[in-house]
Amino acid sequence: MNGEQLKVKTRAGGVVYGTMLSVARNPRWAATIAGLGLDYVIIDSEHAPRGRSEIADLIAGLGGVDIVPIVRVPIPSSHYITMALDAGAQGVLAPYCETREEVQEVVAATKWRPLKGELVRRVVEQGKFPSEASREYLEKRNENSVCIIGIESVPAMEALEDIVTIDGVDAIFVGPNDLSISLGVPDQYDHPVYESALRTIIATCEARNVPVLIHHQTPDLSQKWLREGARFVLHCTETRAVHNAFRAEFGAIRAVGKEIDGGVATEVGESRETI
């Protein structure tokens, strides 16, 4: 799957599956991820301490395994977006957008690279290109670029109806940790206020045929919101998945060890990672 195919499938109401890479840096991780049947991964550079070259190497590894690489940039800035795309990303996730102007900058850099400055502002705001040849060239060059906008606060929700009207927005991302804090119910993902906010976001996006991805960390939450309309599934991180898998397997092994030596089976809690 490439970026264009991902956009076509989600716009048609199909379900796509992905996860976020929070610490993976070595390109050899691509072989492990390839065996999971995922459609895309999001490489985090907002909270993860990755440099430009590390992101490029990881994307190069993913290039041979038919998974769409998307980078979550540190801030909604054209500077970071073009760096991610130049490194080989087929899309960007711009976090914590709250205004039309921020989103237009993201769209301009994602969809019309390398056009810049006043000329790209004319494209985004007025639909005016230097020429028809330039339009066709830029559309072809950026056909695999996926533009995902992060809605992670109450002001962002209030601006959402306007944001989803901007041509070039391919999906809306919800960050549950940030959004729940902004709503006054930190990490309370079963709270009626939080659930109502998600339903409002999904309904607003569905009205414009813009898919929604919500970065939940547990299967129960990912399944619940898949049923409620979040067809662009973004589940867990590689670090949390590894932690929970080892927790479950070693929990079973330690239980047998306790039977044998009479010791105490160490209890290991679930991962507390939130990004």
Based on its alpha-carbon atoms, the radius of gyration of the chain, rounded to whole angstroms, reads: 20
**DSSP characters over 182-232:** HTT-TT-TT-HHHHHHHHHHHHHHHTTT--EEEEESSHHHHHHHHHTT--E
- Please state the rounded mean pLDDT for residues 53-61: 95
Asked whether residue 266 carries a pLDDT value surpassing 90, the answer given is no
Asked whether residue 141 carries a pLDDT value surpassing 90, the answer given is yes
CATH number of the domain bearing residue 128: 3.20.20.60
**Quick check: is 188 in a domain?**
yes
211, 231 Cβ separation under 8 angstroms = yes
- Please state the rounded mean pLDDT for residues 92-107: 98
Asked whether residue 274 carries a pLDDT value surpassing 90, the answer given is no
Asked whether residue 12 carries a pLDDT value surpassing 90, the answer given is yes
**Quick check: is 245 in a domain?**
no
Asked whether residue 170 carries a pLDDT value surpassing 90, the answer given is yes
Q: Which residue has the higher pLDDT, 197 or 262?
A: 197
Asked whether residue 265 carries a pLDDT value surpassing 70, the answer given is no
Q: Which residue has the higher pLDDT, 213 or 26?
A: 213
Q: What are the C-alpha distances in Å from 249 to residues 24, 60, 124, 158, 178?
A: 22, 32, 52, 44, 32
**Quick check: is 19 in a domain?**
yes
Can you tell me the distance from the alpha carbon of 49 to that of 68, in angstroms, rounded to the nearest whole number?
21
Q: Which residue has the higher pLDDT, 255 or 182?
A: 182
Q: Which DSSP category does 145 fall into? A: -
Asked whether residue 261 carries a pLDDT value surpassing 90, the answer given is no
Token pair for residue 229?
A: 């309309």
The pLDDT of residue 179 is: 98
Can you tell me the distance from the alpha carbon of 3 to that of 38, in angstroms, rounded to the nearest whole number?
13
What single letter denotes the amino acid at residue 247? R
* Range of weakest confidence among 15-24, 79-88, 170-179, 240-249: 240-249
What is the rounded average pLDDT for all residues in the chain?
95
Asked whether residue 94 carries a pLDDT value surpassing 80, the answer given is yes
Q: Which of 154, 161, 75, 148 is nearest to 110 (CA)?
A: 148
Token pair for residue 58?
A: 């990881």
* Range of weakest confidence among 96-105, 153-162, 260-269: 260-269
Token pair for residue 194?
A: 């939080």
Can you tell me the distance from the alpha carbon of 36 to that of 255, in angstroms, rounded to the nearest whole number?
29
- Please state the rounded mean pLDDT for residues 158-170: 98
Token pair for residue 199?
A: 């339903």
Share of the chain above pLDDT 70, in %: 99
Domain that holds residue 200: 3-238
- Please state the rounded mean pLDDT for residues 10-21: 96
Share of the chain above pLDDT 90, in %: 84
**Quick check: is 144 in a domain?**
yes
The pLDDT of residue 63 is: 86
The pLDDT of residue 64 is: 84
- Preceding amide of 114 cis, omega within 30: yes
Length of the chain: 275
Asked whether residue 271 carries a pLDDT value surpassing 80, the answer given is no
Asked whether residue 262 carries a pLDDT value surpassing 80, the answer given is no
* Start-to-end C-alpha separation, the chain: 26
The pLDDT of residue 254 is: 86
Can you tell me the distance from the alpha carbon of 33 to that of 118, in angstroms, rounded to the nearest whole number?
41
Alpha carbons within 13 A on the beta-carbon side of 46:
20
Asked whether residue 169 carries a pLDDT value surpassing 70, the answer given is yes
Cβ neighbours, 10 Å, residue 263:
10
